Structure 1
Amino acid sequence: MNFPRTSHMQPERDNAPNEATRRRRALAGLTILAGLVIQITQFSGASPFSPHLVGYAFWLSTALLWRDIPSRNRRQAGWLAAIGLGLLLMARFGFGAGIDWWAVLDGNTYVVAMLVGVSFIGLIGNLRGQSRPPGGRAVTGRRGLAGTWLGVHLLGTILNLSTVFMIGDRLERRAPLTTPQLLGLNRGLSSAAFWSPFFASMGVVMTLAPAMDYATLLAHGLPLALCSGLLTLIELPRRFDLTETAGFSMSPRSLLMPVAMAGLVMLFHYVLTPELSIVGIITFLMPTVALATNLFRGPHWTLGRVRQHTVTRLPAMRGEISLFLCAGLLTLGLSTLVDAATGSDWTLFAHFGVPQASLSFLAIVASAVVGLHPIIGVSVLASVLDLPPGDQTLFAFVALSAWAVGTSVGPLSGINLSLQGRYGVTGTHMMRHNLGYALVMALLVVGTLWLLDG
């Protein structure tokens, strides 16, 4: 099944925009670029700009591009923002919560900045500005699916969400992405949350459970990730005809740019800028490499390509930008309301063992299915538990597993929002096709919890 392209490909009405429309979109592109630049300046620790300006810039660009967003995405984004604002008002006037109103637009701006930075990858490689179609015969069938899952999984452990775009865009050069290709991208990335030390999930867990044992998590999480890949390779060929479905070729040529980028990220993370997060490094590194690559043709050439990217490619990201921003507002509203409503000192469980861990895991995954990001469930769970050091590894495994399974099936997870905004597939479609996968993975996680406790 193929899907219409939405945000990163111009809609049909974009073919001949009038002058006013071109100026409005160009202004929006400049505003998005300004948000990226302000975010990058924050990494220096001595930025002259308020960090709130990043959110203001991205939200302003969304307002300028609102009429151009596909109606389905626009309705969903509008509801997310409205519900998030309503929850904030309920927390403020119903529970007396203190709210920093200047910061309510900050949600998910660091992710949006990373997405904008990653978009500059399009300037790398062919300096004529045209994407070269992949040559030769495509790798198809189960082998192609294995290459897609493995490529996204291995590179995604370091480059996170940007790997989905790098591989997904390469696959889309041949034809619009099909359901099995999208599922391979989804599961390859989400399953890396089981063990990757560079995922946002691990950063959250390290903060909530500082006494956890990472070696134990790795020993139990990595086999689960491999089970995810095996399940995908067994299940999808039975449900879909993959004869003509192209996959990612794990050849040296295909991996050259992703591996080079991954190597640079590792260099900055461990040597040059260890104080920055992986997301922060990706945000500034991708545009920097793109500019350096183009500077070989001279500053005038480089400036022209950046200008073209700003006025065409950045406004075309309106779908994914709006969804992430509005989902961030919803997350802020819900977490604020939950914190205000559960601000007492009671503890959910007197003892956090395998039965309690299993129940917590299933509850977080269930909440993801109905549209809540796993970070909400993980944060709420941590706020109502009193975890001694001995229980923190078990809690950390629950959180990582819920994140890995929940983001694969949740319609409002980061990966599914990205696939929706960039490739036109709905979150409910991804959820429906991942329900069986999520059920099997949930059973494996619960079984692993008993092994972990033993």
Structure 2
Amino acid sequence: MPAPTPPPISLRHALAGGLILGGLVLQVMRFAGLPVALPAVSHAFWLAVGLLWVDLGQRNRRQAGALAGIGLVLLLAAWLGYGADIAWSRILDGNSYVVAMLVGVSFIGLIGTRQGHSPPAGHGVTGRRGVIGTWLGVHLLGAILNLSTVFMVGDRLQRRGPLSLPQLLALNRGLSSAALWSPFFASMGVVMTLAPEMRFPTVVAFGMPLALLAGVLTALELGRRFDLSRVAGYSLSPPSLMMPVGMAALVMLFHYGLTPGLSIVSIITFLMPGVALASNLPRGPRWTLRRVRSHALERLPAMRGEISLFLCAGLLTQGLSTFIGAATGSEWTLFTQFGTPQAVASFLAIVASAVVGLHPIIGVSVLASMLELGGDRQTLFAFVALASWAVGTSVGPLSGINLSLQGRYGVSGSVMMRHNLGYAGVMTALVVMAIVMLDAWL
């Protein structure tokens, strides 16, 4: 039986996909030292969001619109009320680096697989071992492949029947906890942009053990609350680990050897598409071009939700920081110093905002705009931001992971939040202890 013909791509979606791809290419050209201005990159992304705005979900559109609207109002208030000097041509540049990285990372889907097929994985296991396998598989693969791993693993588990709540919780926590350390996550991209002087090895040294504890906690808690004897899990195989390990090694090679002047965000932005092209070229230029075209027309427009959210949050951050600077003469900050009490309060506030429906990027961006941090304080801020992102996205009913699970597998965001509250409480205690130790270390 012939495969069904895919629906035609509308001109609007084709233009939006081309603009998103063009923004990525322009950003890579900037890394290569070519005379490309940053507004050219950000304007390409914003034009794409404008074309795709009607396709956003109502909640997403309302949230992104509010972020952008508040940012613009604050910029106008700073300009009209306080005479602030504002570079209007640059107001859309916020978080364009992060968006370019997200677009670059999306090309991982073209590496080593034919379209529509998942990488090989081991046979399923059951019980607590299965839950550990699911968490570990999503965590390790998701650290590189991001949200697409949830669907890859979830769809494989779904072959044995509808996903159970323990399986969904393992998918949720496996991915969200990777935000604690993965350089390929949007969370790390945002944090590196907001705190460029952070010590990445230090953050990873504290984030990785915390992520491991999240896995142990998940296995123990789900084993206590549910009968896992018939709950199927995901089993990792050596071939499935080769790609994420290889990618991480390449990023470190470029960062510490070939291009030490570029940040990890910049390296990921050009390295992921480059490896994707190289892995497809042996099958011929026409095959490669066809896959890139399909990616640009189908996958990139589907990223409209995350792209719009990050761009609008960047505009809010710029508006808020500009207004505060104009109103206070650039002398006011939220905290006179940023130590353990301030870091804990910030973490709790961002997680609480996630529980009521705000994406952690909003809390992290607002916090950054109200702080003046230097040196080791940026490292502490970075850890707080990553930890609040990891815990907040696991429990927040409107986080990207929970909305994705709801859309794909039909589980309610409020159900996920309710069953993650205990997990979030224990993780909060662990994060607070880690903050105390990190502040003492610094």
For the criterion TM > 0.5, the same-fold answer is yes
1:33 paired residue number: 21
Q: TM-score, normalised by structure 2?
A: 0.78
- Structure 2 residues without counterparts, runs of 5 or longer: none
Deviation at 1:279, TM superposition (A): 1.8
By relative contact order (CA 8 Å, sep 6+), the higher-ranking structure is: 1
1:45 and 2:27 equivalent?
A: no
Cα distance, 1:435–1:121 mapped onto 2, change above 3 Å = same
Q: Percent identity?
A: 52
Aligned pairs, number = 420
1:22 and 2:10 equivalent?
A: yes
Give distance in 2, aligned partners of 1:346 and 1:70.
Answer: 37
Cα distance, 1:147–1:336 mapped onto 2, change above 3 Å = farther
1:257 and 2:239 equivalent?
A: no
Q: 2:149 aligns with which of 167, 175, 180?
A: 167
Query: Which residue type is aligned with residue 170 of structure 1?
Result: M
Query: Which residue type is aligned with residue 120 of structure 1?
Result: F
**Which stretch has the larger CA shift, 172-181 or 420-429?**
420-429
Q: Is contact 1:150-1:188 (8 Å) kept?
A: no
1:287 and 2:273 equivalent?
A: yes
1:59 and 2:59 equivalent?
A: no
1:326 and 2:309 equivalent?
A: no
Give distance in 1, aligned partners of 2:182 and 2:105.
Answer: 20
2:295 paired residue number: 309
Deviation at 1:252, TM superposition (A): 0.6
Query: Which residue type is aligned with residue 164 of structure 1?
Result: N
Instruction: Trace 1:405-424 onto structure 2 (pairs within 5 A).
Output: 405-409=388-392, 416-417=399-400, 420=403, 424=407
Q: Is contact 2:99-2:311 (8 Å) kept?
A: yes
Secondary structure at the aligned position of 2:112 is classed as coil
Secondary structure at the aligned position of 1:173 is classed as helix
Give distance in 2, aligned partners of 1:352 and 1:271.
Answer: 34
Instruction: Trace 1:265-284 onto structure 2 (pairs within 5 A).
Output: 265-284=251-270
1:147 and 2:133 equivalent?
A: yes
1:184 and 2:173 equivalent?
A: yes
Give distance in 1, aligned partners of 2:251 and 2:224.
Answer: 37
Query: Which residue type is aligned with residue 165 of structure 1?
Result: L
Deviation at 1:33, TM superposition (A): 1.1
Deviation at 1:354, TM superposition (A): 4.6
**Which stretch has the larger CA shift, 141-150 or 77-86?**
141-150
Instruction: Trace 1:54-453 onto structure 2 (pairs within 5 A).
Output: 54-127=41-114, 129-132=115-118, 134=120, 137-151=123-137, 153=139, 162-165=144-147, 167-174=149-156, 175=158, 179-192=168-181, 199-200=188-189, 203=192, 207=196, 222-238=208-224, 247-343=233-329, 345=331, 354-355=340-341, 357-366=343-352, 369=355, 371=358, 373=361, 374-376=363-365, 378-380=367-369, 382-383=371-372, 392=376, 396-397=379-380, 399-409=382-392, 416-417=399-400, 420=403, 424=407, 434-448=420-434, 453=440
For residues 158-210 of structure 1, the C-alpha deviation after alignment (integer angstroms, 9 at most, x for no partner) is xx5x432353242143249863144223432133279x9x944774686467x
Secondary structure at the aligned position of 2:10 is classed as helix
Give distance in 1, aligned partners of 2:23 and 2:68.
Answer: 20
Q: Is contact 2:31-2:266 (8 Å) kept?
A: yes
Give me the CA root mean square deviation: 4.0
Query: Which residue type is aligned with residue 183 of structure 1?
Result: N
Cα distance, 1:337–1:240 mapped onto 2, change above 3 Å = farther
Q: TM-score, normalised by structure 1?
A: 0.76
Give distance in 2, aligned partners of 1:245 and 1:99.
Answer: 57
For residues 222-266 of structure 1, the C-alpha deviation after alignment (integer angstroms, 9 at most, x for no partner) is 543433332222234445666666655332121122122222222
1:11 paired residue number: none
- Structure 1 residues without counterparts, runs of 5 or longer: 1-13
Give distance in 2, aligned partners of 1:310 and 1:447.
Answer: 44
Query: Which residue type is aligned with residue 96 of structure 2?
Result: T
Deviation at 1:449, TM superposition (A): 5.0
Give distance in 1, aligned partners of 2:295 and 2:311.
Answer: 21
Secondary structure at the aligned position of 1:138 is classed as strand
Give distance in 1, aligned partners of 2:304 and 2:191.
Answer: 29
**Which stretch has the larger CA shift, 80-89 or 137-146?**
137-146
Secondary structure at the aligned position of 2:146 is classed as helix
Query: Which residue type is aligned with residue 397 of structure 1?
Result: L
Give distance in 2, aligned partners of 1:240 and 1:97.
Answer: 58
Give distance in 1, aligned partners of 2:281 and 2:205.
Answer: 45
Deviation at 1:34, TM superposition (A): 0.7
